[in-house]
Amino acid sequence: MTQMQPIRIAGAGPSGLAAAIALAKGGRAVEVHEARPDVGTRFIGDLQIIESASEREPIPTFLDRIGIVRNFYFRPADWATFYDHTRVPRVIRSGEPYGWFIRRGAEEGTLDRGLLAQARDAGAKVTFNSRLGIDVADIVATGPAAPDGLAREMTWRTEEPERVDVYFDHKLSPGGYSYLFILDGFATFGCAIVADFKRIDDYFDHSLAAAQKLHRFVIPSETRTGYSYMNFHLKQRATSDHARFVGEAAGFQDYLFGLGIRYALTSGNLAARSILEGRDFDDLWRAELGAKQETSLVNRFLYETGGNFGLAMFVRQAAHARDFRGYLSKWHRRPSWKSMLAPMVRRFWRHRGRCQHKPGEHWCRSRDTEMKVPPLGPAS
Ligand SMILES: Cc1cc2nc3c(=O)[nH]c(=O)nc-3n(C[C@H](O)[C@H](O)[C@H](O)COP(=O)(O)OP(=O)(O)OC[C@H]3O[C@@H](n4cnc5c(N)ncnc54)[C@H](O)[C@@H]3O)c2cc1C
């Protein structure tokens, strides 16, 4: 890559656009190619959270540091109601926000549109309806490479009172959770699962019925529904030849709750830094994200093996904690017992046929079979 050549990025999701913003601000020519006609087409205007508990650095400071301004819907999350399988409501509160609500999709006010405007303002050229082969991309930011988790969501406009409800029950959403967010006139109901994908509609319907039994809320006739995969992957490398893989294309995701936006923004920014500063991308992400993602896999192991008893304990402890962000941040820490457990969990995960993907290869098989894609390196 010479200084004169534009950096080519495949994918205009949060990871690709975070990379584009940093590169363009760093004085490099940048071309972002987006396969779809707009940004955010994977989503339907849904409320999502950029979590703020996995790092000490609060989200506003993090965004400032990576050069992202808040030109999108951005609202602190400092309360919620959690339910376990007994359906007893438990209110959780947080002194410092445990996250920040944003919206996703191809519409005004979303994170996607906000990042697009910032990338263009910084000088990046974004081309829609342009699918870029990963063999010619410098940064591959193409989103989920393999289906490790599946979510169905529904969104609608509403006048109902605000709610942030999360339902933890493996019967309603195996390995995952369901949620109802009503904020500022926008409602999102979702069900995320990590097993039995064929029955996603049943799980969604049962979760919705359970939520409505707890609190009647009106769903208008005009709603939007979307399905989307999530991709988790522990890897040795996120590079292949000259390409750097970022965001979910490389499986950067929080295993515990599937909150991948912070990983996407961080890995996109690190890929840009590796180019601007001439540093090794694999070294950079391993230092910042490697141990963190492995710890999140241990958390997922505990989440799944604890069953509904474990989830009920989690919900009770979260409600008793004076500060939910502080409580959640303990889960992200890596005490010695978690470090010792990690290799065993990785082996167990492989044994279950999970976490085996070489993202480049899967991407090739599932989405773009005409392309010959080199593997990313040895699978974990
Ligand atoms: C239902 C649901 C709810 C979620 N909620 C949360 C949440 O609350 N908090 C959170 O942190 N995370 C959440 N996540 C995860 C989060 O949305 C993702 O981790 C994040 O969007 C990943 O960003 P990305 O840039 O890697 O990929 P994406 O956002 O998927 O963007 C990839 C882009 O690349 C494009 N593309 C694909 N192939 C090509 C190609 N060959 N050439 C050009 N363009 C291409 C796609 O069209 C897409 O626009 C959720 C995920 C789902 C499915």
Q: Do 237 and 212 lie in a common domain?
A: no
Q: Do 261 and 116 lie in a common domain?
A: yes
Residues 73-92: tens digit of each pLDDT: 999 999 999 999 999 999 99
Predicted confidence band at 147 (pLDDT cuts at 50, 70, 90)? confident
Residues 103-120: tens digit of each pLDDT: 999 999 999 999 999 999
Domain boundaries, position 309? 7-146+231-367
Where is the domain boundary, 197, 229, 261? 229
Tell me what the mean pLDDT of segment 154-158 comes to: 97
Task: Answer whether residue 238 is part of any domain.
Answer: yes
The Cα 153–Cα 175 span in angstroms is: 17
φ, ψ at 86 (rounded to 5°): -80, -10
The two counts, helices (H) then strands (E), for the chain are 11, 16
Task: Answer whether residue 379 is part of any domain.
Answer: no
Q: Do 42 and 107 lie in a common domain?
A: yes
Rounded to the nearest angstrom, the distance between the alpha carbon of 91 and the centre of ligand 1 is 30
The Cα 332–Cα 370 span in angstroms is: 40
Indicate if the pLDDT at residue 142 is higher than 90. Answer: yes
DSSP code, position 158: -
Least confident of 128-137, 214-223, 304-313, 346-355: 346-355
What is the maximum span of the chain, computed from C-alpha positions, in angstroms? 61
**Ligand 1: nearest atom to the Cα of 153:** 1
Rounded to the nearest angstrom, the distance between the alpha carbon of 14 and the centre of ligand 1 is 7
Predicted pLDDT at 354: 52
> Which of 65, 127, 94, 62 shows the shortest CA–CA distance to 261?
62
* Dihedral sign computed on CA atoms, order 259, 331, 177, 340: positive
Predicted pLDDT at 233: 82
Task: Answer whether residue 2 is part of any domain.
Answer: no
Q: Are 87 and 312 in contact (CB under 8 A)?
A: no
Q: Do 142 and 259 lie in a common domain?
A: yes
Q: Are 111 and 103 in contact (CB under 8 A)?
A: yes
- Amino acid occupying residue 260: G
> Which of 168, 206, 178, 189 shows the shortest CA–CA distance to 319?
168
**At 308, which CATH number?**
3.50.50.60
- In three-state secondary structure terms, 173 is coil
Rounded to the nearest angstrom, the distance between the alpha carbon of 370 and the centre of ligand 1 is 22
Where is the domain boundary, 211, 229, 247? 229
Where is the domain boundary, 229, 249, 265? 229
| Category of 244 on φ-ψ map: left (φ > 0), alpha (ψ -120 to 50) or beta | beta
Rounded to the nearest angstrom, the distance between the alpha carbon of 67 and the centre of ligand 1 is 20
Indicate if the pLDDT at residue 375 is higher than 70. Answer: no
Rounded to the nearest angstrom, the distance between the alpha carbon of 61 and the centre of ligand 1 is 23
Q: Do 157 and 297 lie in a common domain?
A: no
Indicate if the pLDDT at residue 203 is higher than 90. Answer: yes
Tell me what the mean pLDDT of segment 32-50 comes to: 97
Indicate if the pLDDT at residue 133 is higher than 70. Answer: yes
pTM above 0.85, yes or no: yes
Indicate if the pLDDT at residue 321 is higher than 80. Answer: yes
Q: Which residue in this structure is represented by tokens 């999140």?
A: 296
**Ligand 1: nearest atom to the Cα of 144:** 30
The residues lining ligand 1, judged by C-beta closer than 6 Å to any ligand atom, are 10-16, 33-36, 42, 48-51, 131-132, 141-143, 151, 153, 190, 228, 230, 247-249, 253, 258-262, 264
Q: Do 237 and 108 lie in a common domain?
A: yes
Predicted pLDDT at 369: 30
Rounded to the nearest angstrom, the distance between the alpha carbon of 153 and the centre of ligand 1 is 14
Rounded to the nearest angstrom, the distance between the alpha carbon of 88 and the centre of ligand 1 is 33
Mutational test site, ligand 1, from 153, 154, 245, 259, max ligand atoms within 8 Å of CB: 259
Kind of pairing between the strands at 7-10 and 30-33: parallel
CB atoms within 10 A of CB 342: 18
Predicted pLDDT at 348: 81
Q: Which residue, by CA, sits nearest to atom 1 of ligand 1?
A: 151
Residues 176-193: tens digit of each pLDDT: 999 999 999 999 999 999
**At 170, which CATH number?**
3.30.9.10
Predicted pLDDT at 2: 62
Q: Which two tokens stand for residue 197?
A: 């994908």
* Partner residues linked to 228 by β-bridges: 151
Predicted pLDDT at 351: 65
Predicted pLDDT at 352: 65
Predicted pLDDT at 1: 55
Q: Do 83 and 123 lie in a common domain?
A: yes
Indicate if the pLDDT at residue 236 is higher than 90. Answer: no
* Dihedral sign computed on CA atoms, order 292, 176, 198, 49: negative
Rounded to the nearest angstrom, the distance between the alpha carbon of 214 and the centre of ligand 1 is 31
Q: Do 247 and 340 lie in a common domain?
A: yes
* Dihedral sign computed on CA atoms, order 299, 304, 309, 314: positive
Q: Which two tokens stand for residue 169?
A: 């029950």
The Cα 133–Cα 261 span in angstroms is: 23
Mutational test site, ligand 1, from 230, 253, 371, max ligand atoms within 8 Å of CB: 230
Q: What is the DSSP code string of 234-295?
A: -BS-SEETTEEE-GGGGT---TTT---HHHHHHHHHHHHHHHHTT--HHHHHIIIIIHHHHH
Choice between 303 and 4, residue whose per-residue pLDDT is larger? 303
Task: Answer whether residue 45 is part of any domain.
Answer: yes
Q: Are 248 and 228 in contact (CB under 8 A)?
A: no
Indicate if the pLDDT at residue 370 is higher than 60. Answer: no
φ, ψ at 207 (rounded to 5°): -65, -45
Residues 267-300: tens digit of each pLDDT: 999 999 999 999 999 999 999 999 999 999 999 9
The Cα 271–Cα 238 span in angstroms is: 10
Residues 332-368: tens digit of each pLDDT: 999 999 999 998 988 887 766 554 444 444 443 333 3
Q: Do 210 and 314 lie in a common domain?
A: no
Predicted pLDDT at 134: 86
